[in-house]
Amino acid sequence: MPDLLLELLSEEIPARMQARAADDLKKLVTDRLVDAGLVYEGARAFATPRRLALWVQGLPVMQPAVREERRGPRVGAPEKAIEGFLKSAGLTSIEQAKIERDAKKGAFYVAVIERPGRATIDLLAEILPDVIRTFPWPKSMRWANGSLNWVRPLHSIVATFGPETEEPDIVPFAVDGIAAGDITRGHRFLAPEPFAVRRLDDYVAKLERAKVVLDAARRQEIILADAKNLAFAQGYELVEDAGLAAEVAGLVEWPVVLMGAFDESFLSIPPEVIRTTIRNNQKCFVLRKPDGSLAPRFILVANTEPADGGRAIVAGNERVIRARLADAKFFYETDLKTPLERRLPKLKEIIFHEKLGTQAERVERIERLARELAPAVGADPDKAARAARLAKADLVTEMVGEFPELQGLMGKYYALAQGEEESVASALEEHYKPLGPSDRVPTDPVAVAVALADKIDTLVGFWAIDEKPTGSKDPYALRRAALGVIRIVLENALRLNLQPILWRHFASVRRDEALAEAVAALEPLQRDIEALSASDIELAIKLEVLISRSGTAHVMRGSLVQAHSDLGEAGSLLAFFADRLKVQLREQGARHDLVDAVFALEGQDDLLLIVRRIEALARFLDSEDGKNLLAGYKRATNIIRIEEKKDGRTYAGAPRAELYDQAEERELAAAIAEAKREAEAAVAREDFEQAMQAIARLRPFVDAFFDKVTVNVDMPARRENRLKLLNEIREATRAVADFSKIEG
């Protein structure tokens, strides 16, 4: 079976695009082959800084022939129908069709259409240029007078097709004047002469002789192995960095690892700064001494075998790194001269978001919120406020200006240097965490307060200006912020009622004192207000009535209405948290229906309690009692639902004791009352196990009721009372969860 070898040789492809491009090339070509009915045995794609290559193994020589039978009109049908059939089937006379019969229709014509398969090489000559012309580079360009778009100018194409035993054919096509052939070149400097290739095996071998390692994974292995050995030989240890190794593997076709040194005196700069400088600007690795501290050495990966053994290259890189570190040291020392506090005025010049004001305003809000949250997370409010105040000051330092990824970390160093308290200083770094699902969560209470304040401010801010994430669009990473809040709360086992916190913060974001006053006045009435849905002047009046009842000072009507609407926004944000929590719990294997069953209860804004309740519910439902009670619950609600539908009414409200007729009714009623009382008390103590157990005790009474009592009796009053009693089961379970959301 023949194989395809394709190589696209161009000017240097950006490292970050290579792996994706190789995958795309493989997928695009093989998809098209499969579409054409060409099955292949295997495919591999490769990328180097200058080439994309693809190997498709075991293709058929020909596309399979296609045979199709098309049913036509019956024998003896009108001339017109026959003509139409001949035309559509591509026949010239009706003699070419065969005649078949079936029991119903009798004799009819069948045309047999046979399309011979085309030669695979001819199909390739169509597919390959198509794929090249429409290749999905993230950014592409034109050059000279051409019209082809490629990542950088494309120089040559190898496209051979043939079986192992024979000289392969060249797939005959050209793109923008570049004809496919079998000639490629090796390393730009070490082996620039052209040579012919046949198939993957000789291609890889010849490239290797021409100082090109085709496989990126192998280049990366070589880099890591050589770097480790070189470090070890000098008594150091490589600080491994897989991301950097992958990037460097995309910058070289022939990796040669060399070691350079820098002056010990630079080690006074924070090690992260040295590493960032050397890594980001120079794409070099750093090394550790045996004691774990940074060594004054670095490892560079050259793309050549230098004639002088690397002396010039090492000297050149050392000079650049010296200059870079001198810059970094200068930035660091300059930054140290200005206390963070004195940088705050500069934050007034940085716009955080057009509609949300400057970083300075944001810092003020975060400071207020961090102070407010501090007691609940066990932090000293003054320290939390101090840390929040300084949290963004390093954004206007020289160092962070140069290396934005060092934000937070530099804040910590500068804060420590100016004598800030340890927990305040580390909060400057920690408050950005967690940066992703695998990042760790801050645990020091001061850092926790600032981290929560920072994220909640972001969320409330974008909620207030209606920039909520939609579908796949989440430009401000609000999902990440919400998940951050959730993880900080859960992993630190924090008790927070989010709704009022969010509600109050809307007033902060809106920079509206009157609104803040209104929210403060309305807060004790939150539950009542949530029930109000009107949005006009009547609402304001209702709110005022509420306010006057609470005896608070006069608040402007406009603010009342805004406060009401913000409570709704806070609710919507809370629902967003709920969604994120659901996703999070589901990923951890929790049943989504249990999550829903707890969220369906009113006033759930304490994430920790929600999760505990879900856990207790899951354990309960795993028990025999839990399963049976759920069955009883379902049975009860099914009966009520059917009867309510039949009667066109609901059966809510307390049943009347005097209408009980059988012992099972009375016993169930008593058990429900008891279970409800116990469950509610247990929930109030936040003892969800106990609450579940209380509910579980209903089980024998429910079973006995269904066993002995007939609900649909002829006496309407008694029937109604029994339905109401069943409804009480439903009500009782609501103390722990909304059982109607539970599946199974």
Which residues are near another protein by CB under 8 A?
A: 11-12, 14-16, 49, 139-146, 151-153, 155, 189, 251, 282-284, 300, 302-304, 306-308, 311-313, 315-317, 319-323, 326-327, 330, 349-351
Distance CA 401, CA 458 (A): 22
User: Cβ of residue 14: shortest distance to another protein, in angstroms?
Assistant: 4
Residue bearing tokens 């730009």: 188
Whichever of 312 and 673 has its CB closer to another protein, that residue is 312
Whichever of 44 and 188 has its CB closer to another protein, that residue is 188
Distance CA 367, CA 344 (A): 13
User: Cβ of residue 392: shortest distance to another protein, in angstroms?
Assistant: 15
Whichever of 14 and 500 has its CB closer to another protein, that residue is 14
DSSP structural state of residue 61: S
**Residue 86 to residues 40, 60, 79, 210: CA-CA distances in angstroms?**
36, 33, 11, 61
User: Cβ of residue 260: shortest distance to another protein, in angstroms?
Assistant: 9
User: Cβ of residue 360: shortest distance to another protein, in angstroms?
Assistant: 12
Is 302:357 a contact under the CB 8 Å cutoff?
A: no
User: Cβ of residue 158: shortest distance to another protein, in angstroms?
Assistant: 18
Whichever of 14 and 117 has its CB closer to another protein, that residue is 14
Whichever of 110 and 360 has its CB closer to another protein, that residue is 360
Q: Which of 407, 505, 417 is nearest to 459 (CA)?
A: 505
Whichever of 49 and 72 has its CB closer to another protein, that residue is 49
Q: Which of 356, 372, 559, 389 is nearest to 459 (CA)?
A: 356
User: Cβ of residue 57: shortest distance to another protein, in angstroms?
Assistant: 32
**Residue 594 to residues 274, 487, 591, 744: CA-CA distances in angstroms?**
50, 19, 5, 11
Q: What is the dihedral angle through the alpha carbons of 313, 316, 322, 328, rounded to the nearest 10 degrees? A: -90
Whichever of 303 and 693 has its CB closer to another protein, that residue is 303
Instruction: Spell out the residues 6+ positions from residue 365 whose beta carbon is closer than 8 angstroms to its own.
Output: 453, 457, 505, 508, 509
Whichever of 251 and 481 has its CB closer to another protein, that residue is 251
Q: How large is the angle between the packed helices 120-133 and 15-35, nearest 10 degrees?
A: 140
Is 66:53 a contact under the CB 8 Å cutoff?
A: no
Whichever of 320 and 520 has its CB closer to another protein, that residue is 320
Beta-sheet strands, E only, within 127-225: 154-162, 169-170, 174-175, 178-181, 183-185, 194-196
Q: Please, which contacts does 428-433 make with residues 24 or more away whose CB atoms are closer than 8 Å?
A: 428/387, 428/390, 428/391, 428/394, 431/387, 431/388, 431/391, 432/407, 432/408, 433/484
Residue 46 is inside which H or E element, if any? strand 42-47
Strand partners, 278: none
Whichever of 352 and 660 has its CB closer to another protein, that residue is 352
User: Cβ of residue 256: shortest distance to another protein, in angstroms?
Assistant: 8
Whichever of 283 and 288 has its CB closer to another protein, that residue is 283
Whichever of 232 and 330 has its CB closer to another protein, that residue is 330
Task: Determine phi and psi for 40, rounding to 5 degrees.
Answer: -125, 165
In single-letter form, the type of residue at position 372 comes to E
Omega of the bond prior to 434 within 30 degrees of 0, cis?
yes
Whichever of 144 and 493 has its CB closer to another protein, that residue is 144
Q: Is 47 helix (H, G, I), strand (E, B) or coil?
A: strand
Task: Quote the distance between the C-alpha of residue 157 and its chain's center.
Answer: 38
User: Cβ of residue 616: shortest distance to another protein, in angstroms?
Assistant: 52
Distance CA 675, CA 694 (A): 5
User: Cβ of residue 139: shortest distance to another protein, in angstroms?
Assistant: 6
Whichever of 315 and 670 has its CB closer to another protein, that residue is 315
User: Cβ of residue 178: shortest distance to another protein, in angstroms?
Assistant: 10
Burial code (b: 16+ CB inside 10 Å, e: under 16) for 153-183 equals ebebbbbbbbeeeeebebbebebbebebbbe
User: Cβ of residue 333: shortest distance to another protein, in angstroms?
Assistant: 13
User: Cβ of residue 142: shortest distance to another protein, in angstroms?
Assistant: 5
DSSP structural state of residue 167: P
Instruction: Tell me the residue length of the chain.
Output: 744
Whichever of 224 and 278 has its CB closer to another protein, that residue is 278
Q: How large is the angle between the packed helices 340-347 and 381-390, nearest 10 degrees?
A: 60
Is 721:660 a contact under the CB 8 Å cutoff?
A: yes
Task: Quote the distance between the C-alpha of residue 236 and its chain's center.
Answer: 38
Whichever of 139 and 645 has its CB closer to another protein, that residue is 139
Burial level of 320, CB count in 10 A (0-12/13-18/19+)?
A: middle
Whichever of 335 and 664 has its CB closer to another protein, that residue is 335
User: Cβ of residue 12: shortest distance to another protein, in angstroms?
Assistant: 4
User: Cβ of residue 300: shortest distance to another protein, in angstroms?
Assistant: 7
Residue 16: CB atoms within 10 A of its CB come to: 11
Q: Please, which contacts does 187-193 make with residues 24 or more away whose CB atoms are closer than 8 Å?
A: 187/211, 187/212, 187/253, 187/254, 187/303, 187/304, 188/50, 188/253, 189/303, 189/304, 190/254, 190/304, 190/305
User: Cβ of residue 41: shortest distance to another protein, in angstroms?
Assistant: 35
The token pair at 172 is 């005959």
The token pair at 94 is 């009706």
User: Cβ of residue 314: shortest distance to another protein, in angstroms?
Assistant: 8
Is 505:458 a contact under the CB 8 Å cutoff?
A: no
User: Cβ of residue 596: shortest distance to another protein, in angstroms?
Assistant: 46
Q: What is the dihedral angle through the alpha carbons of 647, 649, 651, 655, rounded to the nearest 10 degrees? A: -90
User: Cβ of residue 508: shortest distance to another protein, in angstroms?
Assistant: 23
Whichever of 350 and 534 has its CB closer to another protein, that residue is 350
